Amino acid sequence: MQSPARRTALVTLLSATLAACSTGGAGDETYRPLVGQGGKDVMWVPTLDTLLLPMLELAAVTADDIVYDLGSGDGKIPIWAARRFGARAVGIEYDAQLSALAQRNAVRAGVTDRVKMVHGDIFKEDFSSATVLTLYLGEALNEKIRPTILAMRPGTRVVSNSFGMGTWEPDRTVRLPEQNPLFLWIVPARVAGDWTLEGLPEGGRATLRLEQRHQVVSGTLSDAERRVRPVEGRLDGARLALDLGAGTAGGAGLPRRLLLEVRDDVLRGAPASDAARTVSGRRARP
């Protein structure tokens, strides 16, 4: 016979376990996955519950977001994104049993109006509508999926548990005590190439020639009199901050910093020191 105290302790433990299940973090009576079991390109290891909130907060998830977890395991990240932030969320998981478990977890968590679990391959499924991506895949797989991510809408936020993305440096890294790091990237706009700029203080048209390495930009700005200044900049999604160097011709009167917004083939913004002035640009035809 159990003592009343032991019975109460067991009931408390059971309730806590069920509460944990209801957030989608465990197996069920139908299927119980094993941590470390094989997956198509990477094994299943669930993100720690203590990292779920930090990951989603690092991505600044809101109810307006569409969150995709690539390789979603038991579905805990999409379920949390919906429950805690009211976001719409999709999990893509290759393993049929894990995907079915994730779907049952979504039902138990009462989030099926906002969460979809897709049984599929992250290299075949379309996740281009995501505003936030979450990854727990390993560095090699992150690098393999990187070209697809870099082609996504500028401003898409990408959070990875533990693993980097090769030469694409993170925009932010969060290190919680005794935890693996979390990384954030913001998909940068594509700006490499030549642009014709108008509206700079010295008047006339200038040619902006940019090279780009992910969110890091460098190049030259040449004015109508062929005076050339070096430029260096950084992209935060579609926002481009460009610092103008002095160059050989001095560039007297030119602003030191331009704050521009990139939309496809158009740039628009102002000098940081003169927000009332409009600087605009178009991609130069090759």
Ligand X SMILES: C[S@@+](CC[C@H](N)C(=O)[O-])C[C@H]1O[C@@H](n2cnc3c(N)ncnc32)[C@H](O)[C@@H]1O
Enumerate binding residues for ligand X (CB under 6 A): 39-42, 44-47, 69, 71-73, 76-77, 92-95, 98, 121-123, 136-137
Torsion of Cα atoms, 201 then 278 then 171 then 232, to 10°: -20
Minimum CB separation of residue 164 from ligand X in Å reads 15
- In the complex, least distance from residue 262 CB atom to ligand X, rounded to whole angstroms: 31
Smallest distance, Å, CB 48 to ligand X?
9
Q: Cβ closer to ligand X: 95 or 171?
A: 95
Q: Which residues contact 14 (CB under 8 A, 6 or more apart)?
A: none
Closest CB to ligand X among residues 40, 153? 40
In contact, 241 and 225? CB cutoff 8 Å? no
What is the smallest separation between the CB atom of 51 and ligand X, expressed in angstroms? 8
In whole angstroms, how close is the CB of 47 to ligand X at the nearest point?
3
Nearer to ligand X, 41 or 261 (CB): 41
Of 125 and 243, which has the nearer Cβ to ligand X? Answer: 125
Antiparallel, parallel or unpaired: β 182-186 and 228-236: unpaired
Q: By beta-carbon distance, which residue lies closest to ligand X?
A: 71
Minimum CB–partner distance for residue 108 and ligand X (Å): 16
Please name the residue ranges forming H helices in the chain: 4-22, 49-58, 76-85, 96-109, 139-150
Residue number with CB closer to ligand X (45 or 259): 45
Contact between 128 and 41 under an 8 Å Cβ cutoff? The reply is no
Nearest to ligand X of 122, 260 (CB atom)? 122
- Compute how many other C-beta atoms are within 10 angstroms of the C-beta atom of residue 107: 13
Question: 158 near 61, Cβ under 8 Å?
Answer: no
CB-based burial label for 14 (10 Å; 0-12, 13-18, 19+): exposed
Minimum CB separation from ligand X for residue 5, in Å?
36
SS (H, E, C) 98-152: HHHHHHHHHHHHCCCCCEEEEECCCCCCCCCCCCEEEECCCHHHHHHHHHHHHCC
User: CA 87, CA 206: separation in Å to the nearest integer?
Assistant: 43
Q: CB-wise, 80 or 168, nearer to ligand X?
A: 80
